[in-house]
Structure 1
Amino acid sequence: MRDVASVAGVSHQTVSRVINNSPNVKKELRDKVQMAIDDLGYVPNIAARRMGGNRSYLILAINDRARTLDNWNVGRGNDWVDQMLFGGMMECEKNGFRLIFELVDTEDPAASKQLARAIASLRPDGVILTPPHSENQDLADLLSANGTAFARLGSSNKDDGINIAMDDKAAARAATQSVLELNHRKVAFVAGSSEYLASVDRLEGYREAMAEAGAAIHPDWEQPGDFSFESGTKAAANLFNCKDRPTAVIASNDEMAFALLHEAAEFGIAVPEELSIISFDDTPGVRFSVPPLTAIRQPISAMAQRAASELMNEETVAQTTAQITLPFELIVRGSTGPVPR
């Protein structure tokens, strides 16, 4: 730090304030210090920084252990996790922090014990809770009692923590309206796991859009799922064997939409000529499906980036509670078309 101060022609304290992203540093001074840091290849020592104050310069993100491991073990990976990590890691790196990723069980008391151990060993400055952990009030209470700031990603109706989500109900309405505008009236919906509030919101948005259009919903058109490919396969078989088969299906995530595509091919149903499909999330794989999937783009990376940014900001964290809604997009691709004649 002394070398950086010497090259930049500023005080040691100014370098410290820039590295710690403190306020009240003029832009020209901040730029001079950053240029010196880049030229010298200086990297702050996290251990030393931790000893020098009450911050750890670590942000902890946790994800559903069972589902993540299941996807990894069968070679499917997890695009949602990839995007979350990308947004969080890049924001942390930019500010001299590190993002630590942990898998935690969804069921209590195991979830609380695992998170408590992680907090005790890492002492993170903040924790990012992803669905369904973001809906687990026991975890939120544990973090609050420990004085650890936290952000919830995904739909949440909680009044503590930093809540960051898109409007899932509005997104489902937009998806449903897009096929209604293509003159589809037989529109089905494959829901996600009921553990996730987003699943409830998306189903409600679908129902609202159908009701506003005066389109009746056949009892068989609402199919349960759990975000897995297997549940999508089961839902597809039920829908395609239905006496009054739908002409459009909205799936609550990409994996289940991929299953719908696969099953449509098995049943000899052409997409989009005979069946339109819309997905949620818009993870990278949807661009390579045949045909490419029309999808609601959930701002996963942007949500994680915003969560990390808020948790690194001591002034924001001190407020402890915030409701932040980020915009979604409907990306139209080849899996949707006019209702078959």
Structure 2
Amino acid sequence: MNANALPRLAVTAGEPAGVGPELLIRLAATSLAANFVAVTDRRLLERAAARCGAAIRLIDDDGLPVDHRDPGTLRVRHVDLGAPETPGHPDPANAQHVLSTLLEAADGCMAGRYDAVVTAPLQKASINDAGVRFSGHTEFFAEHSRSQVVMMLASPELRVALATTHLPLSRVPAAITAEGLQKTLHIVHDEMRAKFAIAQPRIAVLGLNPHAGEDGHLGREELDIIIPVLDALRAQGMTLIGPMPADTAFVPAQRSRYDAVLAMYHDQALPVLKSEAFDRTVNLTLGLPFIRTSVDHGTALDLAGTGRADPSSLIAAVTMALDLIARRRAA
């Protein structure tokens, strides 16, 4: 490996009609020391650059290492669109294009062609409207790599992992099982050590019910499932706090007690995180055989085509990916 080579990041543009292509143009304008490879349609990027009023030099990716990147340059791994994009109006005809970009990024990482993948937001409904069952990046990469994964969102101040991800709320209680919770906590524990270099991670585990069930008066999931799992894993040496009531777990006095939080469902903890650090939060998939980070926001269809989309979250996702690559190389 060339010690001076810049990390190669596959960056997918996500939904062609969303803000993703414009975010990639803004990313290319930065001086970040990375070899960005945009996995999308070259013509889509050209049109996005025109909307942003940005000068961009697009280079066909040859797979070779580089030790320098000039701001305003972007390598491209071309993947044909199914139909020309109309900003703000997703077209199911582009569903296969989006999925093909994800496959290229994942396969490239597993084959060693890329050091990490960073994803811009996509439109799940548009893919489902095309007749393809799809619940999100996290689940797609997990299935494709045959991995047990955990979704984590991380800001400089807070890390939150999820026991369940994109499920209707009515299906969450049945999805909280002892086996699943054990696997999830093992992944979070191991990845906190590997990715964040925390030798003995302290993980706060939220209860499912209000007041963490209040000794069974507000639900028995804590007594029947969560507490026995935590006790068993503590006996194995893990430092686990809880189950904690979600309404008090994030107050400042509590945060110094833990390095990460495991929430039972998507909207239990993520509103706290996003309300505090929306433009600095990164979506990170734990348990994959490669590094994957993402923005913490959606396609922002109302902004698409205006050139005004804020690239802060994408820059944060790239910065975290670079930090994880550097830590992996050092290890």
Same fold (TM over 0.5): no
Hey, which of these two has a bigger chunk of helix by percent?
A: 1
The higher relative CO (CA closer than 8 Å, separation ≥ 6) is in: 2
Q: Which has the larger radius of gyration?
A: 1
Q: TM-score range by the shorter chain?
A: under 0.3
Taking structure 1 as the reference length, the TM-score comes to 0.26
